[in-house]
Amino acid sequence: MVSQPLSHPVSSLEHGARADIEHDVELPETDLLSTFALRSVELRNRIVMSPMCQYSATDGFANDWHLVHLGSRAAGGVALAIVEASAVTPAGRITPSDLGIWSDAHIEPLARIVRFVQSQGAVAGIQIAHAGRKASTAPPWSGGGVLSADEGGWRVVAPSAIPFFEGAPVPIALDAAGIDALVDSFEAAAGRALAAGFRVIEIHAAHGYLLHEFLSPLSNQRDDEYGGSRENRMRLLLRVAERVRTRIPDELPLFVRISATDWVPGGWDIDQSVVLARALRELGVDLVDVSSGGTTPKARIPIAPGYQVPFARRIRDDADIPTGAVGLITDAPFANQIITGGDADLVLLARELLREPYWAHRAYHDLDEEPPWPTPYGYAVKRRPEPAMRSR
Ligand SMILES: Cc1cc2nc3c(=O)[nH]c(=O)nc-3n(C[C@H](O)[C@H](O)[C@H](O)COP(=O)(O)O)c2cc1C
């Protein structure tokens, strides 16, 4: 809240006040630390932990690592912690060590994470995903190469039989029954996410994974109702969003992460993303989380601080839907400016939160507010030293 002089005169005589004088009143200001409500979910600030694969699961099951990874950022003050890409089918994993949500047995270890995240005043979200033709690889720290069957790999699927790069395995083009089964898998995964207690579900349609592969003419060269025109390429994601939306109660929001552009001429681009975002909004999607790239290793991406923010702005303005900005956002004043300037409604951080799990607390300090301390810390540290004694 900031104190601002009222621009129009107040003509009330309450409490003996003179008529037509200016009063200082508290007007809400939207900034990085202001709350944000989507349906019945209230976020305590605009800072979100972006989904980040940990490649640390066995058979898709969340474990202590995932609890600490997400739990520490929740204790560190983020408003929303989104669990990494969780595969809706075993073949939808990027690596054999991805999280999964394809069976009911996956629910309870995820519910444990939800309970802890919520106990810290944060909201727990989960990204549901299928890696398409980019599945069946080794974890990045083992080189990220394609896994053979002997190494525990599997046949990958995609809209068309076009490999991710020359020499990569040729995927199996999904047939109509395969597409229907995929839509069912996303819906079932959403049901399990709700059973685990997640209050935000995000559909992963970015980074060159299966749903993005259908959107992009680079990876989708089908000649049926799922390929060709923009409407046809959008069809699968819209079907998935519609089915997932019907599975989620009205009071809970649905996010979709997209790649706003392939960064390749003739590929998926921001104009198509605006049309897509409008269609998603019509289906009841509440926020578009705006990333980019991933369809082809040939893309030349002009990486720089906040380089994807203009896409979040464009979609917010032209599709009239809340957006999340992500990508090389590392300092609080810049993150704050994204919100105050109306570029996006939420700011998502990934790598900077790996470097600094308590980044959100630091942002509160930098913006001269008291961080939302966990109870066992707050009573001990709440009173900040005088400015002269502060290290920064
Ligand atoms: C270790 C790691 C894992 C990631 N896993 C996912 C993921 O599961 N889903 C996703 O949509 N993006 C994933 N990303 C991308 C991030 O969410 C984010 O969009 C990207 O890193 C840019 O943000 P940053 O500059 O703050 O890191 C991952 C990034 C990193 C560094």
Instruction: Encode pLDDT of 132-181 as tens digits.
Output: 999 999 999 999 999 999 999 999 999 999 999 999 999 999 999 999 99
38 vs 286: CA distance, rounded Å: 7
pLDDT at residue 28 in the model: 59
Model confidence at 382, pLDDT cuts 50, 70, 90, reads confident
* Ligand 1 contact via 84 beta carbon (within 6 Å): yes
CB distance 132 to 213 below 8 Å:
yes
132 vs 134: CA distance, rounded Å: 5
Mutation probe of ligand 1 site: the residue of 47, 49, 50 with most atoms within 8 A of C-beta: 50
Model confidence at 27, pLDDT cuts 50, 70, 90, reads low
Q: Which atom of ligand 1 is nearest to the CA of 140?
A: 1
147 or 28, which is more confident? 147
Give the mean model confidence (pLDDT) for residues 284-297: 98
Instruction: Encode pLDDT of 304-314 as tens digits.
Output: 999 999 999 99
Instruction: Encode pLDDT of 226-283 as tens digits.
Output: 999 999 999 999 999 999 999 999 999 999 999 999 999 999 999 999 999 999 999 9
Dist. CA 11 → ligand 1 center (Å)? 53
pLDDT at residue 5 in the model: 30
Please report, rounded to a whole number, the percentage of residues in the chain having pLDDT higher than 90.
89
Instruction: Encode pLDDT of 48-88 as tens digits.
Output: 999 999 999 999 999 999 999 999 999 999 999 999 999 99
pLDDT at residue 29 in the model: 81
Mean model confidence pLDDT for the chain = 92
Other Cβ atoms less than 10 A from the Cβ of 122: the count is 28
* Ligand 1 contact via 127 beta carbon (within 6 Å): yes
Give the alpha-carbon dihedral of 351, 196, 208, 214, to 10 degrees. -160
Other Cβ atoms less than 10 A from the Cβ of 18: the count is 9
Dist. CA 390 → ligand 1 center (Å)? 33
Q: Which domains does the chain have, with CATH numbers?
A: 29-365 (3.20.20.70)
pTM of the predicted model as reported, rounded to 2 decimal places: 0.92
Q: Compute the residue count for the chain.
A: 392
pLDDT for residue 1 is more than 90: no
Dist. CA 122 → ligand 1 center (Å)? 19
8 or 331, which is more confident? 331
Helix 270-282 and helix 230-247, axial crossing angle in degrees, nearest 10:
40
* Ligand 1 contact via 206 beta carbon (within 6 Å): yes
pLDDT at residue 10 in the model: 30
Give the mean model confidence (pLDDT) for residues 31-55: 98
Q: Which atom of ligand 1 is nearest to the CA of 202?
A: 11
